[in-house]
Amino acid sequence: MLEVKQLVKEFGGLRAVDGVSFTLRANTITGLIGPNGAGKTTLFNTIAGVHRPTSGDISFLGRRIDGLAPHRIFHEGLVRTFQIPRPFAEMTVLENCMLVPPRQAGERFWNNWFSRPQVRAEERACRDRAQEVLAFVGLSPLAGEYAKNLSGGQQKLLELARVLMADPKLVLLDEPGAGVNPTLLVTIMDKLHELNARGITFLIIEHNMDLIMTLCDPILVMAQGKLILEGSPTTVRSDPGVLDAYLGGVPE
């Protein structure tokens, strides 16, 4: 589904991503781990089009996407979330979801005058879809609440709901467990499992090792901008290089 070849991203004299290559298979949940500063978020941003790669290739579903603008990559079905959720704070939970689907007729102001039946029909369908998605993530009771009033964990669920409104093929999740209480974390993990069973592929950055080891296979490990290992949870957990780079050394 996603193929990254010898990807390099430099900022001045800093090489944040240094010759990274990997392939994601469809219908998998892949983890991406590494110490702070390893280059994980820069890798995400480069895949999603926020950064233009210095060199290397990125292909999604057989098509080169490196260098494309983020909105064009989004329309291809590759969607990302952020470590710190970014909802529209002064809009309701339902409105945040309804805003996502692209190319809505009502976005062109003249359609609201000359194509009112089409605009109304699309808006009804969008509202119905948003309500279904909010029910799936468990936020239906908060549909009319302003996004700014949600807890951190609830905002993570809203972020997931907004992603689902885009009908993605591949989702890049940036620390879905950060700042989430244990109960909501279990909910998020269950939802990711269910969505994966429906055919959505995930690549997840996460520092919560319990989440990664439970949810992900394979796991990619980065350190100092390089990909140092790719393997199963069992392989990663026992690899001396990973223990040294990420966990502080091999236990005695």
- State residue 209's pLDDT score: 86
Q: Any idea how long the chain is?
A: 252
pLDDT in tens, 88-104: 999 999 999 998 876 66
- Mean of all residue pLDDT scores within the chain: 88
Measured N-to-C along each axis, helices 182-197 and 152-164 cross at an angle, to the nearest 10 degrees, of 10
Which token pair is 100? 């996502």
Which residue ranges does the chain devote to CATH 3.40.50.300?
2-87+166-245
Beta bridge partners, 18, equal 8
- Write down the pTM of the prediction: 0.86
Query: Which parts of the chain are beta strand (E)?
Result: 2-11, 14-24, 29-33, 55-60, 63-64, 78-80, 170-174, 201-205, 219-223, 226-231
Kind of pairing between the strands at 78-80 and 226-231: unpaired
Q: Which residue has the tokens 């039946």?
A: 117
pLDDT at position 245 over 50: yes
pLDDT at position 131 over 60: yes
- pLDDT range class, residue 115, cuts 50, 70, 90: low
The string over 46-66, giving b where at least 16 C-beta atoms fall within 10 Å of a residue's C-beta and e elsewhere, is bbbbebebeebebebeeeebb
* DSSP assignment of 210-246: HHHHHH-BSEEEEETTEEEEEE-HHHHHH-HHHHHHT
- pLDDT range class, residue 240, cuts 50, 70, 90: confident
Q: For residue 227, how many C-alpha atoms fall within 13 Å in the half-sphere facing its CB?
A: 19
- pLDDT range class, residue 241, cuts 50, 70, 90: confident
CB neighbours (10 Å) of residue 207?
16
pLDDT in tens, 28-85: 999 999 988 899 999 999 999 999 999 999 999 999 999 899 999 999 999 998 888 8
As a whole-number percent, the residues of the chain with pLDDT over 90 amount to: 64
Q: Is residue 176 a contact partner of residue 225, using CB atoms and an 8 Å limit? A: no
CATH topology of domain 2-87+166-245: Rossmann fold (3.40.50)
